């Protein structure tokens, strides 16, 4: 009698366990599906809410030069140009620094007190919130830029495309640097040793062994930091000057897609205006998605080899 | 063309020095920023600053307690949403490396990681703020939770992949069901890696401003109602920094100092965990 009781108890327990197991597997699958649905949901939401502007403004929205919500004229060109110019200047400024960090940490001195200090500092650069960069830029960098602009004889706004690019450059350096370091570390020691044994100097090894080997990985790092730069909002908004005209030179104020959304989204009082802003968001979304996916693909191929 | 050995060695040396110079120059802006914020902010921080609500714009005095409490609540709610989902998704991806669903979820995580924060703000606005008719701290938490997900998922996946299959097989051999093998063996083994991913994700979103602009919005009083607008540290810094008054800037420096040190501290904690447990992120 007692035996059958414990047996049925055991059976019930193992049945429960099996039910739990099925439930657990099911939940995991559902959560994984949720992530996919989430991303599709983001894309669909952006498309639906930019429909009014796509319908009424069409493709010419993207190269319209004037942005005048009061008179219902919307052209996104100033912001597209603003985003492209700030991001590319930031990229050009940041590349030498991130390469130098990558080479130093990957090849010259992978370990040691000084390289640990550098590595941690670079990671902290990425950790500082963008609003703090923006605030610091606003109070410290803008007056400095104004003085410089006065000296070189352009209109001394202080605010402007170049100021924003400088801040952006600092902010994106860690991304390319960290990736570059990983890539350089992956270069097989035998290749480097082979070159050294043939009498190559350190620079020649970097130039002729490491560079050809890591080219594509370094390129991917730059792509990913470009993705960061394109979408950066707060720091840029606070120092770019927020005008809706196309910047005349790199020192004049401008606006980027992200910063115009941040500034005008809550003020947008009619459908087409709001929808025009969301369309900017959609463009930003698509561009950063493409850049990120390509960058990640390159890295994956690189690390798998 | 033949070049002398001396010339080649000298060139190599010069480039090395130049590289080291460039690499270390970049630590200067960070040090400048930290020192500057410390100098401006430290005088501002006192008991009143931490316990009072702000005075009207342009008047001196007052504190930022509403932003401190607000930030805490918003981040807490975001963590409650994102941590379980992120860890579960990470478990799925580490367990199923080849399935079609895992391919698409991995792609989705890559995409999510690159989505600009302002775009997530727009989406949270249409998902939560518009249907409810009012900005709310909850909608801000949702936006931040979406931003936390990719970091948690990636760190969980990468950590759990490193756990030897022999451990799992030992569990199965003892007759353990799947969920207990995962929850009792795999997750505890990788807990340090998962934890550092979680802390890192909190550090990333604690300073995010852009997604909160249209969602949590901000206010001037102390509130714990997550269905109503709520102030947060980064949002307060943004509003006060863009005011023309010096007293507002002082408030913003104080808030910036607190935010900066919280974020840096969280990053250092992550560092210590990863170093102590030897996990790779």
**Spatial separation of the C-alpha atoms in residues B90 and B158, rounded to whole Å:** 8
Identify the band that residue B206 occupies on the pLDDT scale cut at 50, 70 and 90: very high
The 3-state DSSP class for residue A254 equals strand
User: Is the CB of B119 less than 8 angstroms away from the CB of A231?
Assistant: yes
Q: How far apart are CA B205 and CA B270, in angstroms?
A: 15
| The pLDDT of residue B244 | 85
- pLDDT at site A70: 82
Contact between B120 and B143 under an 8 Å Cβ cutoff? The reply is yes
Q: Does the pLDDT value for residue B243 go beyond 90?
A: no
| Distances in whole angstroms, Cα of residue B277 to Cα of each of A8, A73, B191 | 44, 58, 10
Q: Which tens digit of pLDDT belongs to each residue from B136-162? A: 999 999 999 999 999 999 999 999 988
Cβ–Cβ under 8 Å, residues B56 and B225: no
> pTM of the prediction?
0.91
Three-state SS at B58: coil
Tell me whether residues B108 and A38 touch, CB distance under 8 A.
Answer: yes
What is the interface pTM, i.e. ipTM, of the complex? Answer: 0.90
Domain positions in chain B are 5-42, 47-277
Dist CA A280 CA A258 (whole Å): 8
Please determine, for residue B14, whether its predicted confidence score (pLDDT) is greater than 90: yes
How far apart, in whole angstroms, are the C-alpha atoms of residue B265 and residue A117?
A: 16
Assigned token pair, A153: 């004889």
φ and ψ at residue A68, rounded to 5 degrees? -140, 80
Q: Do B264 and A138 touch (CB under 8 A)?
A: no
Do B206 and A129 lie within an 8 Å CB cutoff? yes
pLDDT at site B15: 92
Whether A45 has its CB under 8 Å from any CB of chain B: the answer is: yes
pLDDT for the residue B5:
86
DSSP string, B211-280: GGTTTT---SS----TTS----HHHHHHHHHTSS-HHHHHHHHHHHHHHHHHHHHHHHHHHHHHHHHT--
What backbone torsions phi and psi does residue A93 show, to the nearest 5 degrees?
A: -65, -40
Record: contact A124-B267, CB cut-off 8 A: yes
Measured between beta carbons, which residues in chain B are less than 8 angstroms from residue A33? 101, 105
The Cα–Cα gap between B41 and B55 comes to 18
Q: What percent of chain B has pLDDT over 90?
A: 53
8 A C-beta contact, residue B89 and residue A32? yes
Q: pLDDT digits over B29-53, tens only? A: 899 999 999 998 888 888 888 888 8
- 8 A C-beta contact, residue B41 and residue A139: no
- Could you tell me which CATH number the domain at A60-304 has? 1.10.3720.10
By CA distance, what is A48's nearest residue in B?
Answer: B126
- Choice between B90 and B5, residue whose per-residue pLDDT is larger: B90
Using a CB-CB distance cutoff of 8 angstroms, which residues of chain A are in contact with residue B112?
Answer: 35, 38-39
Alpha-carbon gap: A54 to the closest alpha carbon of chain B (Å): 17
- With residues binned 3-state (H G I as helix, E B as strand, rest as coil), the percentages for chain B, rounded to 5, are 75, 0, 25
CB pairs A-B closer than 8 Å: 243
Q: Which two tokens stand for residue B70?
A: 């607000």
How many Å apart are CA B218 and CA B237, to the nearest integer?
Answer: 11
CATH 3.40.190.10 applies to domain B47-277: no
**Secondary structure class of B207 (helix, strand, coil):** coil
Structure tokens at B35: 């020192």
Distance (Å, rounded) from C-alpha B126 to C-alpha A232? Answer: 21
**Which of the four pLDDT bands, split at 50, 70 and 90, describes residue B2?**
low
* Dist CA B205 CA B142 (whole Å): 11
DSSP one-letter code for B129: I
Taking the Cβ of residue A180 and every Cβ of chain B, the question of whether any pair is shorter than 8 Å is answered with: no
- Give residue limits of the domains in chain A: 2-57, 60-304
* pLDDT score, position A71: 83
A247: closest CA among A63, A134, A85? A85
Of B30, B72, B47, B81, whose CA–CA distance to B262 is shortest? B72
Whether A123 and chain B come into contact, CB under 8 Å, resolves to: yes
Put simply, whether A100 touches B (Cβ < 8 Å) is yes
Q: Residue range B81-97: average pLDDT?
A: 94
The mean pLDDT value for B178-186 works out to 90
Residue of A nearest to B215 (CA): A266
Q: How much is the pLDDT for B279?
A: 57
Interface test with A, best of B7, B11, B29, B147 (most A CBs within 10 A): B29
**A27 to B88: CB separation less than 8 angstroms, yes or no:** yes
How many whole angstroms separate alpha carbon B84 and alpha carbon B80?
7
- Can you tell me the mean pLDDT for B101-112? 93
Min CA distance, A29 vs chain B (Å)? 7
Please count the CA atoms within 13 angstroms of the CA of B208 that sit on its side-chain side: 31
C-alpha B175: how far from its chain's center? 40
**Mean pLDDT over all residues of chain B?**
89
Q: Which pLDDT value is given to residue B51?
A: 83
Whether the CB of A198 is below 8 Å from some CB of chain B: the reply is no
A20 in contact with B, Cβ within 8 Å: yes
Q: What percent of chain B has pLDDT over 70?
A: 98
**Banded model confidence at residue B224, pLDDT cuts 50, 70, 90:** confident
Below-50 pLDDT ranges, chain A: 1
pLDDT grade, residue B61 (50/70/90)?
confident
Smallest CA-to-CA distance from B215 within B144, B130, B139, B148 is with B139
Exposure string of B234-256, with b = 16+ CB inside 10 Å and e = fewer, is: bbbbbbbbeeeeebbbbbbbbbb
């Amino acid at each position: 009698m007692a035996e059958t009781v414990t047996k049925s108890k055991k059976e019930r327990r193992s049945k429960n366990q099996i039910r739990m197991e099925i439930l657990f597997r099911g939940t995991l699958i559902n959560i994984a599906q949720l992530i996919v649905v989430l991303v599709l949901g983001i894309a669909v939401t952006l498309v639906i809410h930019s429909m009014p502007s796509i319908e009424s403004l069409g493709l010419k929205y993207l190269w319209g030069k004037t942005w005048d919500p009061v008179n219902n004229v919307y052209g996104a060109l100033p912001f597209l140009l603003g985003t492209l110019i700030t991001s590319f200047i930031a990229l050009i400024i940041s590349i030498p620094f991130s390469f130098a960090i990558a080479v130093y940490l990957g090849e010259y001195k992978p370990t040691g007190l000084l390289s640990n200090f550098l590595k941690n500092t670079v990671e902290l650069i990425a950790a500082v919130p963008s609003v703090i960069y923006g605030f610091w830029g606003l109070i410290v960098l803008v007056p400095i830029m104004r003085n410089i602009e006065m000296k070189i004889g352009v209109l001394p706004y202080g605010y402007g495309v170049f100021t924003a690019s400088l801040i952006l450059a600092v902010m994106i350096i860690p991304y390319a640097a960290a990736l570059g370091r990983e890539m350089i570390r992956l270069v097989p020691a035998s290749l480097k040793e082979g070159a050294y044994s043939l009498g190559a100097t350190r620079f020649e090894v970097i130039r002729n062994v490491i560079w050809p080997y890591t080219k594509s990985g370094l390129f991917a790092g730059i792509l990913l930091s470009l993705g960061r730069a394109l979408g950066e909002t707060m720091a840029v908004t606070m120092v770019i000057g927020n005008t809706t005209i196309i910047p005349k030179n790199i020192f004049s104020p401008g606006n980027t897609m992200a910063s115009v959304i941040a500034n005008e989204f809550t003020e947008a009082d009619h459908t087409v205006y709001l929808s025009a802003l969301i369309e900017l968001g959609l463009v930003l979304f698509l561009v950063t998605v493409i850049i990120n996916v390509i960058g990640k693909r390159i890295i994956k191929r690189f690390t798998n080899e | 063309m033949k070049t002398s050995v001396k010339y080649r060695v000298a060139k190599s040396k010069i480039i090395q020095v130049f590289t080291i110079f460039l690499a270390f120059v970049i630590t200067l802006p960070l040090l400048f920023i930290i020192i500057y914020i410390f100098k401006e902010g430290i005088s501002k921080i006192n008991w009143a600053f931490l316990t009072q609500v702000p005075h009207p714009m342009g008047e001196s005095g007052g504190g930022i307690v509403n932003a401190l409490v607000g930030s805490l609540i918003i981040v807490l709610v975001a963590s409650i949403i994102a941590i379980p989902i992120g860890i579960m998704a990470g478990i799925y991806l580490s367990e199923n490396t080849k399935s079609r669903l895992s391919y698409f979820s991995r792609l989705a995580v890559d995409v999510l990681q690159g989505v600009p924060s302002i775009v997530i703000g727009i989406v949270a606005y249409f998902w939560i703020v518009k249907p409810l008719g009012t900005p709310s701290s909850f909608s801000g938490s949702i936006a931040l939770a979406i931003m936390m997900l990719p970091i948690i998922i990636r760190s969980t996946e990468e950590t759990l992949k490193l756990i030897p299959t022999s451990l799992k097989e030992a569990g199965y051999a003892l007759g353990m069901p799947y969920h207990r093998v995962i929850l009792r063996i795999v997750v505890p083994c990788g807990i340090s890696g998962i934890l550092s991913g979680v802390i890192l994700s909190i550090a990333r979103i604690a300073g995010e401003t852009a997604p909160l602009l249209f969602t949590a919005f901000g206010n001037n009083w102390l509130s714990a109602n997550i269905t109503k607008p709520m102030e947060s540290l980064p949002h307060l810094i943004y509003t006060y920094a863009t005011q023309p008054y010096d007293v507002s800037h002082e408030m913003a420096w104080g808030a910036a100092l607190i935010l900066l040190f919280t974020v840096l501290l969280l990053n250092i904690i992550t560092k210590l965990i990863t170093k102590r447990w030897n996990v790779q992120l």
